Structure 1
Amino acid sequence: MSSVQRRVQEVIDGMVASGDERGVQVAVYQGGRLVVDAVAGVADPGSGRLVESGTPFYTYSMVKGAAATLAHIVGGRGLFGPDTFVAELWPEFGVRGKEKVTVRHVLDHTAGVPGIPLDTRVEDLCDWDRMCAAVADAELWWEPGTKVGYHAYTFGYIVGELLRRATGKPISQLLYEEIGVPLGIADEIYFGMPVEQHARLARLEDAPAPEAAEGGGEPAVDPDLPMFRSAPMATFPTAALGNRTDVLAADIPAGGKTTARAMARMYAALLGEVDGVRLLGSEQVDAATALSSSGTDEIFGVPTAWGLGYAIGGLSGELTEAGRAVFGVGGAGGTFAYADRARGIGFALAKNRLTHDFASSQKVIDVVEEELG
């Protein structure tokens, strides 16, 4: 057992033993080779089923990285480019001031369409045509390209509909054909997951709310944040939402169901070849991961920085030379996946306890970078 594998295993075993986490997966590729494949804990407390390397987790936004990758794969074939107007492919979108929204604006979260209707039901999230019609009818929150704000749900629907209009294929089919099959992970990464596969999934659970912790304290979230105007509370990421059969089966490409191994392998295949497969050329990766937008996020009120579909700077968000080499996407609940061009690393951590921070991911990343830096 390598030193990095042993140390990561010790860290995640400790997280589970302490009760901080229930079930965890970590995978790391370096130089196209799997160097960490570690699991700990329980996938389903009800049955006692243990986490395995092939256990998929609903990881919410972490799989936005796969949606972005598909946009670059398909766009790289000349079907659209970063400066293509969304309305060129999707005419219904070009109303209410959205005529000049470009693919770049969508990918770097400056499109100005961060919200879904506040009367959206969970059942509506599962209805592709209904949600795309709602997004197409939306009014701008700001002039495209002038501000940056996280497009939590709308990113997935807009990217997915662009891809469908360009190729005639739903985003789940493209994920299977363009990433799943070539990388040998077709049974480990999904947007909509077939119902017959749901028994393989880890079962999500909510961590205690921060204000309920010992010593009390202020609520962790400002109730006046625009995020509460961007979607109804019923659609916010929770265990109950992520365990629903209809949600798991639906294409909601703001998130997805995946193993850590699949996401780490995808990011590794953006940096170079993995078993002879590379998803994007180096020039495409340069363009996709160059800083495209940054500033205070209009939805969450925190500093943010984006390339084209990937957050830049890792969990710290630092835009130092080292930070700019890191690109990826994290998910509500504390999951995270990224590539580090300087270290040649593809990393992913998946887990089933939805915590309110990225502390577990950061602990593991610190060990990995110390060992592989």
Structure 2
Amino acid sequence: MADVQARVEDVVRRLVDSGRESAVQVAAYRHGELIVDAYAGEGVDAASLLHSFSTGKGVTATLVHVLVARGLLDYDTPLSALWPEFGAHGKDRATVRDALTHRTGVPQLPPAITPEELCDWDHMCALIAAQEPLWEPGAATGYHGWTFGWVLGETVRRATGLPVAEALRTYVTEPLGIADSLFYGTPDAHADRVVPLVAGSWEEKLAAIPEDAPFLLAVPNPGVWPCARLANRPDYLRADAPAAATLTAHAAARMYAALIGEVDGVRLVPAERLPLLYELRTREPDRILGAPVPKGLGYFLGLPETGGEPTAFGHNGSGGSIAFADPGRELSFAFTRSRLSASADDTHAQDLAALIRGAVAG
């Protein structure tokens, strides 16, 4: 696979040299083996950490699936059975399965919420638990942009007795040897490895969203928009907000590889449970995103970067990061970047994933 590594290196180097990217990482695993680990950009290497916003939702979903496989959680357990406060206002029927499929009915945040509040775990969990759902839990799906992380993260804490960051390290990253390259809040000891994000067309897209758009219920003011200004705040980077993550492309690709197969003797979920992750759970219109979005248990399905493969599952993030697994090809892929983009001609991740798919097919 030396040829595909060289080809990807050439592409990412040209993207940076042309100014279309500032810093980028690409990684891929096939049959549990690393086949691509490429990067480009000044001061960037394979160990550099990039904040990748909702790509982190795939990390949190993975943690939940590992805990279910170990018998520490169950998909049909009501969240309130572990977290009684969450049952307020009729949310007592919401289950772990509902949380994974964005069906708990609490995607919203208060209009004046501040970045400082996002950094306060206990405050955010109490706020979400006290909210009235926008719809009957389980009756509809609507993207829980920020709240996905605290809803599931606090459930994990109640089930394991561990803070969510420690649970991630114990059950996912340490067994895979990536405990130093996949985080929620970034420890101070690794802060100098974080590549600052760069404002791009993604911020312009957020600013152009109409004030009455449902999406702004989930990200209600510019201070908590998932953009470079927030991601570069030291207090936010240190905080655990499990709808997002700071990671390397290598670590994300390795995690997905260990979901669909064995990586250096480690498999995160038993093979017989794998189809549960990518089985279609809903394709109904999403009440926050405003369009149908195929969802599995915690992952999006058939994203453009996967070539539309219906069993490929993963998660993308604001500004263009993505990580996913393609079980049919026994392939995993991750793309991280520093410049957040939303331009129509930005198909960099899609093109790189297609290049790698073509190479393994050949």
Q: Relative to 1, partners in 2 of residues 1:306 and 1:317: Cα closer, same or farther, differing over 3 Å?
A: farther
Partner of 1:304: 293
AA paired with 2:143?
Y
**Residue 93 of structure 2: aligned partner:** 100
Q: Which runs of 5+ in 2 are unaligned?
A: none
Superposition pairs of residues 292-331 of structure 1, within 5 angstroms: 292-315=281-304, 323-331=309-317
Identity %: 42
TM-score scaled by length of structure 2: 0.94
The 2-side partners of 1:193 and 1:17 are apart by 29
Q: Which stretch shows the higher mean deviation, 165-174 or 201-210?
A: 201-210
1:1-373, aligned counterparts within 5 Å?
Answer: 2-42=2-42, 50-208=43-201, 221-233=209-221, 234-315=223-304, 323-356=309-342, 359-373=347-361
Does the CA contact (< 8 Å) of 2:201 and 2:340 recur in 1? Answer: no
In structure 1, stretches of 5+ residues that fail to align are 43-49, 213-218
Q: CA deviation at 1:203?
A: 0.9
Note closer, same or farther for the CA distance 1:80–1:179 as it changes in structure 2 (3 Å cut).
closer
Paired residues in the alignment total: 358
Structure 1 residues 323 and 103: CA distance shift in structure 2, 3 A: same
Q: How far has the Cα of 1:162 moved from its partner?
A: 0.4
Counterpart-to-counterpart distance in 1, 2:143 and 2:91 = 17
CA contact (8 A) 2:305 2:349 kept: no
Give secondary structure in 2 for the equivalent of 1:142: coil
The alpha carbon displacement at 1:114 in A equals: 0.8
Once structures 1 and 2 are overlaid, which stretch shifts more, 9-18 or 181-190?
9-18
Secondary structure of the 1:134 match is helix
Deviation at 1:52, TM superposition (A): 0.5
Give the C-alpha shift of residue 99 in structure 1. 1.3
Alpha-carbon contact 2:77-2:95 (below 8 Å) kept: yes
Q: Name the amino acid aligned to 1:323.
A: E
- CA shift, 1:283, in A, is 2.1
Read off the aligned partner of 2:360 and give its amino acid letter: L
3-state SS, counterpart of residue 339 of structure 1? strand
In structure 2, what residue type is equivalent to 1:52?
D
Aligned to 2:243, what secondary structure does the other structure show?
coil
* Equivalent position SS for 2:319: coil
**Deviation (angstroms), 1:302:** 2.5
Q: What is the deviation of 1:316?
A: 6.3
CA distance in 1, matches of 2:6, 2:18: 18
CA distances 1:181-230 after superposition (whole Å, capped 9, x unpaired): 11111110100111231111111111146879xxxxxx864443211122
In 2, distance between residues paired with 1:340 and 1:78?
A: 26
In 1, the alpha carbon distance for the partners of 2:14 and 2:72 equals 48
Q: Give me the whole-angstrom Cα distance separating, in 2, the residues matched to 1:263 and 1:90.
A: 29
User: Conserved in 2, the CA contact under 8 Å of 1:118 and 1:232?
Assistant: yes
Instruction: Report if the CA contact (8 A) 2:261-2:267 is conserved.
Output: yes
C-alpha distance 211-55 of structure 1, shift in aligned 2 (>3 A): closer
Aligned partners of 1:292, 1:208: CA distance in 2, in Å? 32
Change (3 A) 1:209 1:35: closer
- Following the alignment from structure 1 to structure 2, what is the Cα–Cα distance between the partners of residues 211 and 61? 18
CA distance in 2 between partners of 1:181 and 1:323 (Å): 30
Deviation at 1:102, TM superposition (A): 0.8
* Cα RMSD for the two superposed structures: 1.9
Give the direction of change, closer, same or farther, for the CA distance of 1:183–1:86 in structure 2 (3 Å limit). Answer: same
Give per-residue Cα distances to partners, 1:139-171, cap 9 Å, x unaligned: 111122222211111110011100100111011
CA distance in 2, matches of 1:226, 1:66: 25
Cα offset, 1:314, TM superposition: 2.1
Map Cα deviations across residues 22-49 of structure 1 (whole Å, 9 max, x no partner). Answer: 000000000000000101112xxxxxxx
Indicate if the aligned counterparts of 2:106 and 2:144 stay in contact, CA closer than 8 A.
Answer: yes
